Chain A
Amino acid sequence: MRHLLSTEDLSRSNAIRILDTAEEMAAVGEREVKKLPTLRGRTVVNLFFEDSTRTRISFEAAAKRLSADVINFAAKGSSVSKGESLKDTAQTLSAMGADAVVIRHWASGAPHRLAATDWIDAAVINAGDGTHEHPTQALLDAFTMRRHWSKLAGTPSAGADLTGMRVAIAGDVLHSRVARSNVWLLRTLGAEVTLVAPPTLLPIGVEKWPCSVSYDLDETLARGVDAMMMLRVQGERMNASFFPTTREYSRRWGFDDNRLRALDSLGLKDTIIMHPGPMNRGLEISSAAADSPRSTVLAQVRNGVSIRMAALYLLLSGDTREPAHQANSTHSTPAEHTSALVTKESH
């Protein structure tokens, strides 16, 4: 069984394999026929227990570009609202013959549960679980950064990592699965990560994460940043007050017009501004910053489809038959039966 659950235990070689495969998938989007027959006859279920527009659409577009059949399942309006358990839902999907399950769940660890049990015999892709991880978002962010980083270096991006890149991630780290997944993945790829947030929006134990922590966005910018990632303030997860007013938040930790100008005066002409979306314009990012040529927001959305195609391809195209059976391999290089993307339950 192979799954994509977390970036914490994703090895460097597997991460680069996904990024390199995504590079080829991106080329498909530029062709006349934007479709590959690769996953014909496979069924991908989008199992969304939490609202999502871009992630679900992105996975749907990715699966369809690879000719897989897509079933969308939203918890609202389903038997889940009648009290069906995750186990029963999973077993129902299994009985219908799902080959891959893309799951978003409000509970941290739900995808791990699905992958670790025998409820369903399908590849599980974590599309965001609670405040834990969102691995495909981190991969598409890394893909976007790698393209930028290797363009600056004038080298091809295939096979490259992010060694030496300075990445700052600012905002609501406490509730952000995107931040967690990014910290693990970017560390694996060799980037230096700094988290910038008010102390109230940093999780307990952040000092043990493989990154540095700052409370001052301007100071972090002044030290030099190659990629500035703003996180969404997740109002829907905030059941207490974490900062006095939104105005104060945007002045101290939002990427506003002054900070956009500061990038130029600091001589950071190649710094990109990233946001996983959806954006709260005027709160964590100003419209001028979001629409500036530095912004990679739309490139991130575009790259998301390529990354998800790569993940689906690598998880679903592997050996589905008994290992004893020898395929009539011709002169090709020996197929690598690597245990790519195997992730164990780590919590």
Chain B
Amino acid sequence: MSSTEQGTSSAAPAEPTTAPESAAAPEVPESFYYVHGKDKVVHKVSAGALQHSALIHGMISNLGYTEEQAKANPFPFENIDGDILQMVVDWCNQHKGKPTPPEDTNLPKQKEKLFDLVLAVNYLEIKELLTYCCKQVAMMVKGKSPEEIREIWMIPTDAEDEAAEKEAKKRAGKEAAGETAAAAGDAK
């Protein structure tokens, strides 16, 4: 995989910045894993931080990954934008081993970013962060009329949706007919 490991540069936030462990606790070396998004930038994340993601946690436990294997093969999340993955990784690091507070005011306010974050968090199964994101979405819904909600989130009306579906079917039918004709032409 061609990747730019940023364990020390852009992945710097991935270095754990947790509260100091209790002096009595035995020192256990922490293991680290690596993830990358669409931009192929690799983020180094501690196993503790990754506990937040049920998906990644499941991958680690079910695949029996060793740290060496993980280093050579970062978890590929090609469907998540790099900046969003960075945001997620930062959040996981910040909340590693800590009880999550009732509010999180650091979430993006712009609906595009929030949308990407909701999808990424849902995909990675990070329940607590999803709760915060959904609360943010709910705040944006509050007091809005159905028309305003449709406009803000670009949701088509049922009639528009049906029309678009019909159109897509028609187009697909035409394409299929075109392909068949082309195949027949090739055969000749």
Mutual binders A and B: no
> A residues within 8 Å of B by Cβ?
none
> B residues within 8 Å of A by Cβ?
none
